Amino acid sequence: MTKGQWQIGPVRNLRGQQAARYAPGVSNGRDQATTRESKRDASIEQTASRLKRAASRWDLHVGSPLQGGFQSQVFACTDAQGTPLVLKLRSSDPRTANESDALRLWEGRGAVRLIDHDPTVGALLMERIVPGTPLPPGNEREAIAAAAQVLAHLHAARLPASHPFPALIEYVDEYLKWARAEAAPGTVGIELLEDSRPLAQHLCTTAGETVLLHGDFLDKNLLLGPAGYVAIDPMPSIGDPGADIGFFAAGRQPAGEISTRTRALAMSLGWDPDRAEQWALIWAIGEACETWRGDSDELQAWVKQHAEGVVMRNR
């Protein structure tokens, strides 16, 4: 049976009347459309309910939706005093489960400031970053300097003895699961994805120091504020600081600069550039499972070239 091909075939029921039944190999577009509409309507109703509860709790006037948030919904809002804020309804993705805990630890140093959190609604109330423009493409030197300044603050956070953050390797497993689900057939990334896990395990177990990681340290998650760039939308875990460095380098275009970008950022922070470059390879393999990037061909070629010998040694 081919996925997505369902048809309705007429059959006789017990009363001798014509009835429709679903048969393998056949399409029921109307029913599928109805199901999608029902799910969409339920989602809209759920969002409206969560918004209402959050607005009531914090006495907010909720405005228009904003871009941003990994599968989350983000809205401009003001409090009773007219202070511009941001309301975020967190998604169900497990990687974002401890976002509020990380923001609370960072206390506005290198990251957006958390005002309050309602776990029953899954809502975060945060300061509004103005102008809030993301780190732009081009000018690698300025981008690396901005990223280094933010990471220096984030990685300096002092962790309490007891905390809710998962180990980095647990985050890696979730990332690989996501990359596998989104993968396009025939890409270099999907061919190397399983082989990247032992390399990640090796880097995790040999890390000389561990820090609170951002986990989704990309251009789009670095917003310009009055005092410089700050990070938003963390997917926090505890592990090798090189993981955040490599994530930034692998996610930024063009892919041909990944190695140079990684090493420059690592050295500016005083971290091992070789380890950071291996982390960049792991994340780049995940990125290379898809083909949406404007530099996809360049990324596929970079991954293929740099995976030889590195990934294979850790099988």
- What is the pLDDT, as a whole number, of residue 29? 52
Tell which residue, 283, 275, 215, 294, has the closest CA to residue 251: 283
Q: Give yes or no for residue 91 having a pLDDT over 90.
A: no
pLDDT of residue 69: 56
**pLDDT per residue as tens digits for the range 179-235:** 999 999 999 999 999 999 999 999 999 999 999 999 999 999 999 999 999 999 999
Instruction: For residues 311 and 315, give the distance between their C-alpha atoms in angstroms, rounded to a whole number.
Output: 7
**Mean pLDDT calculated for residue range 7-36:** 38
Amino acid of residue 132 = G
State the pLDDT at residue 20: 31
Domains and CATH numbers, the chain: 140-313 (3.90.1200.10)
Decide if pLDDT at 32 tops 60.
Answer: no
What CA–CA distances, in Å, run from 238 to 159, 161, 243, 275?
9, 13, 10, 16
Phi, psi of 228 (to 5 degrees): 120, -170
Arithmetic mean of pLDDT, 237-245: 98
Q: What is the mean pLDDT of residues 268-287?
A: 98
DSSP 185-240: TT-HHHHHHHHHHHHHHHHHHT-S--EEE-S---GGGEEEETTEEEE-S---EEE-
For residue 41, pLDDT over 80 is answered with no
One-letter amino acid at 9 equals G
* Entry pTM: 0.84
In this predicted model, what pLDDT tens digit does every residue of 152-185 receive, in sequence order? 999 999 999 999 999 999 999 999 999 999 999 9
**Which three-class secondary structure state does DSSP give residue 13?**
coil
Phi, psi dihedrals of residue 282, rounded to the nearest 5°:
-60, -50
